[in-house]
Amino acid sequence: MIQQTNPIFGRLDWSVTPYTDLLNKVTSSTIVGAGAATVLVVGAIGAVALLTWMRWWKPLFRDWLTSADAKKIGIMYIVLALVMMARGIIEGFVMRAHQATALGTLAAPESGLVAPDHFAQLFSTHGTIMIFFVAMPLLIGLINFVLPQQLGARDMAFPVLNQVSLGMTAAGAGLIMISLLVGQFGTGGWTMYPPYTGIEYSPGEGVDYWLWAIMISGIGSTLTGMNFAVTIFKKRAPGMHFMRMPLFCWTSLCVAIMLIYAMPALTVSSTMLLLDRYAGFHFFTNAAGGNMMNYANIFWMFGHPEVYILVLPAFGVFSEISSTFSGKKLYGYTSLVIASMSISVISFTVWLHHFFTMGSSVPVNIAFGIATMVIGIPTGVKIYDWMATMWRGRIRVTTPIVYLVGFFMLFVIGGLSGIILANPSIDYQVHNSTFLVAHFHNVIIPGVLFGMLAGIHYWFPKAFGFRLSETWGRLTAYLFIGGFLCTFMPLYVLGLMGMPRRSPTFQNPDFMPWMYIAAFGGVLMLAALTSLTWTFWTSWRNRERLAVPGGDPWNGATLEWSSPAPVPEWNFPHIPVVTARDDWGATKRGGDPWRGPDEYVDIEMPANTYFGVTLAGAAFLLGFAMTWHIWWLSIVSLFTIVAALFWRGLQVVEPVIVPAEEVERADKQYRDRIASLTPVRRVEEETEHNRGVPDITEFAG
Amino acid sequence: MTKPNTGEVNPKDTAAHEIRSYATGFVISLILTIAAFAAVLSDLSPTLKILIICIAALLQVTTHLRNFLHLSFSGNQSREDLLLVLFSASLLSIMAGGTIWILSDLHGRMHGDQAAHAEPAEHSHNRAPED
Ligand code: HEM
């Protein structure tokens, strides 16, 4: 098929929107497609209208988009992730609804809510979004927000680079979003294996959308990894030795290392596929000696470390909350550090288990199978450490603890099914079935999603100055746990009954009961999403009553709880001198933790800049133009990127100075405020009395 | 390993030094790149070509690390740098070694002891695939 390429519009024309499809043929599938596009358009128009109506454009740019403050960048990452998560969960629901109606017959094999091709786009976008634009931004956002504060630093090592990373991620997410409205997304799943995704079998724009989104956001993630690593190595407060760092910092360090070494593999595999598609190369075609399995090989060299990139920050969060909410010191700190580090190295040695069925010879499969089982050991160690931390503690069943307990029970099941799959001969039976789908959701949802939501709940007061509603928070957690059980446990059964993953249809009526349970699970997941949204809304409305100006609502032990909530831009009026692990806890035990510093000094903060926004916009246009073969626009946007880099490089960038008087005023005000608030005991933690000043006599951690 | 890296340096001194270091690195990289391309375009034997490219690539990596990324084994952060190099080397050898192992194994399993576009007639000499 030779497509005409218009010099101005590339391959764009009026036939690419889902509305044209709807006009051509009205089916449930085209209605769903057009409906999704409409939600996007209405959402975008609504957002623009709201910003204009509330006159928020200027604050948006001044306070947020041009800010180089790691905390704000972190929050923006998380907002992006939550928006994308809404789309991902809704897509998950649509897929479940589809499969619940997809029982075909031999006479009419196809049936269900959406057309097969549409279903393929759904699982491809869902997978891509959930991994790259939900899980990744959630964890990167959380680390950005928490890491400098826990290390006793004011910001990341490279604040502006951080802004660029966010911009790249947002540009990639934008490409995925626009594919709802303009053209189609790829149908090759989140892994986009060739040869199916080669130019011969997927000539359209879909795979290119994926490639550009992944390449652009991948650059962002690589840069983030470097930023985190340098921050941890260079910006620790004086006295903060490695073995005094909170565990979340340790897992951040692991994540940073893994990002640095794993992301390039993804960039390489995507670039090779890109060259195959755009420039007639033969890396992954049989013609001219290419080898398509090398794509799987390189992709999973990234892909497996990636899943540990996703889960390690959650492990960090669980380490923090298990200790804080049981009022005990973290059990087995050193073993947790060693376990995290081992995981991050071993995770580079297991990638072949994702394609056991490629047909390697026995020694290869065995070696990777054993490596896979070995990685279960450090993970198991961690679970025991957290349980030991909680053992005999005075546990408060707050939202994070609900997530943590849900994680304990569900993640272990998911881990066990992983160990089962690590056996090549078993994997041969169930690979590519919904058993696998159940397995990875079983580790990703309780691991990553629960961990990140728990983390958001835990640190939210630090960011915005008020707590989230515990009642709604817990309800959300229960709904996610129940929704998970109903959606994915049936998939284990279906997989063992022989149902392949990614099936748009099936002809076995025995599947149906399980399908209905799973669809009901999808409804629960939607309810959880709604409840999550409501948690934010209702907490915002009650922000006066939930306010915790004292800044330490949970009687925490790490440095970030020593500052007011919301935390000022400079984090600490005076960089703390760390004398112990869990330094804030040690200060509390020493009595009078809220004593102000003796002197105040001017503070240098990075100045706002439009650099990140410019690069993001140009990168988005570059991706879009390349996808649609609009060459002139590609050249213009590429040129813009290069020019912006030069421009920035040639400038002398002055930091903003916050004068000592201003710091002193704000800090004195905070200290006075603390003195006027009544300390709250833990039993009253969830009540209005919690103003963020805990009763330090109760501190035992 | 945990000492802060706040060594006072004279900015003028370092600037001149840095520019010299970057310029040297740039020239060396350029030469190595040209060498690799020249090797491909020449009519040396394929093995020799591959060898030249590999060596040029390794030297290129070293140059970048030394001249652009200021890696050194004698400065005040030599220990961190050494750790970094060793760690990178081990991870990269896992990746490269693993790939070679996996793909050559696959190659063998796919009757790869024979060139991919060999004449069909040669099939009769094909060695039996391993188990
Ligand atoms: C919250 C509710 C969720 C629901 C209802 C859901 C549902 C689904 C369904 C129905 C599929 C297709 C299964 C098949 O191929 O037969 C799928 C695939 C997938 N999901 Fe989810 N999911 C959810 C959450 C998540 C999360 C949180 C993540 C990751 C962070 C995730 C990652 C994936 C991935 C990577 C795939 C594979 C896509 C592919 O086949 O290429 N999902 N999900």
> Is residue A600 located within the same domain as residue A643?
no
By alpha-carbon position, which residue is closest to atom 43 of ligand 1?
A: A92
> How many pairs of residues across A and B have Cβ atoms under 8 Å apart?
53
Q: Is the peptide bond before A566 cis (omega within 30 degrees of 0)?
A: yes
Q: What is the pLDDT of residues A390-424, one digit of tens each?
A: 999 999 999 999 999 999 999 999 999 999 999 99
In a domain, residue A183? The reply is: yes
> Is residue A443 located within the same domain as residue A577?
no
pTM of this structure: 0.93
Q: Indicate the pLDDT class of residue B108, thresholds 50, 70 and 90.
A: confident
Q: What is the DSSP string of A8-67?
A: TTBT--GGGSHHHHHHH---HHHHHHHHHHHHHHHHHHHHHHHHHHTT-HHHIIIIIIT-
> Is residue A393 located within the same domain as residue A484?
yes
Cβ pair A104, A119 in contact under 8 A: no
Distance A441 CA to ligand 1 centre (A): 7
> Is residue A246 located within the same domain as residue A187?
yes
In a domain, residue A41? The reply is: no
Phi, psi (5° rounding) for residue A139?
-75, -40
Q: Answer yes or no: is pLDDT of A148 > 70.
A: yes
| Structural tokens at position A597 | 């510093």
Interface membership of A503 toward B (CB under 8 Å): no
> Is residue A215 located within the same domain as residue A308?
yes
Length of chain A: 701
Q: Indicate the pLDDT class of residue B81, thresholds 50, 70 and 90.
A: confident
Strands (E), A187-305: none
Over chain B, what is the mean pLDDT? 79
pLDDT at residue A273 in the model: 96
pLDDT at residue B32 in the model: 96
Q: What is the CATH number of the domain that holds A239?
A: 1.20.210.10
Cβ pair A322, A404 in contact under 8 A: yes
With an 8 Å Cβ cutoff, are B95 and A348 in contact?
A: yes
> A608: how many CB neighbours lie within 10 A of its CB?
18
Q: Which residue has the tokens 């005409």?
A: A4
In a domain, residue A5? The reply is: no
Task: Give the integer Cα–Cα distance in Å for A283 and A272.
Answer: 7
Cβ pair A417, A492 in contact under 8 A: yes
Q: What is the DSSP string of A114-161?
A: S-HHHHHHHHHHHHHIIIIIIIHHHHHHHHHHHHHHHHT-SS-SSHHH
| Structural tokens at position A183 | 């053209």
Cβ pair A135, A451 in contact under 8 A: no
Q: Answer yes or no: is pLDDT of B28 > 90.
A: yes
Q: Which long-range contacts (CB under 8 A, 24 or more apart) does B15-23 make?
A: B21/B67, B21/B70, B22/B67, B22/B68
The residue of chain A nearest to residue B99, with distances taken between CA atoms, is A297
Pick from A236, A348, A366 the residue to mutate for testing the B interface (most B CBs within 10 Å): A348
Phi, psi (5° rounding) for residue A342?
-60, -45
For residue A529 and ligand 1, the question of a CB distance below 6 A is answered with no
Does residue A493 sit in helix, strand or coil?
Answer: helix
Task: Give the integer Cα–Cα distance in Å for A347 and A320.
Answer: 23
By alpha-carbon position, which residue is closest to atom 26 of ligand 1?
A: A130
Residue in A85, A91, A98, A130 to alter for ligand 1 test, most ligand atoms within 8 A of Cβ:
A130
Interhelix angle A136-151/A159-178, nearest 10 degrees: 160
> Is residue A209 located within the same domain as residue A248?
yes
In a domain, residue A428? The reply is: yes
Phi, psi (5° rounding) for residue A102?
-100, 15
> Is residue A536 located within the same domain as residue A628?
no
Number of domains in chain A: 3
> Is residue A199 located within the same domain as residue A312?
yes
Cβ pair A560, A567 in contact under 8 A: yes
Q: Answer yes or no: is pLDDT of A385 > 70.
A: yes
In a domain, residue A353? The reply is: yes
Contacts with A324 (C-beta within 8 Å, 6 or more apart), sequence order: A458, A554, A555, A556, A557, A701
Does residue A202 sit in helix, strand or coil?
Answer: coil
In a domain, residue A12? The reply is: no
A188 DSSP assignment? S
pLDDT at residue B13 in the model: 65
In a domain, residue A292? The reply is: yes
Of A417, A569, A401, A554, nearest to A496 by C-alpha is: A417
pLDDT at residue A26 in the model: 87
Does residue A656 sit in helix, strand or coil?
Answer: strand
> Is residue A374 located within the same domain as residue A389?
yes
Structural domain for A138, as ranges = 56-547
pLDDT at residue B114 in the model: 53
> Is residue A165 located within the same domain as residue A241?
yes
> Is residue A471 located within the same domain as residue A488?
yes
> Is residue A354 located within the same domain as residue A503?
yes
Q: Indicate the pLDDT class of residue A110, thresholds 50, 70 and 90.
A: confident
Domain stops at, among A524, A547, A570: A547
In a domain, residue A15? The reply is: no
Domain stops at, among A521, A547, A573: A547
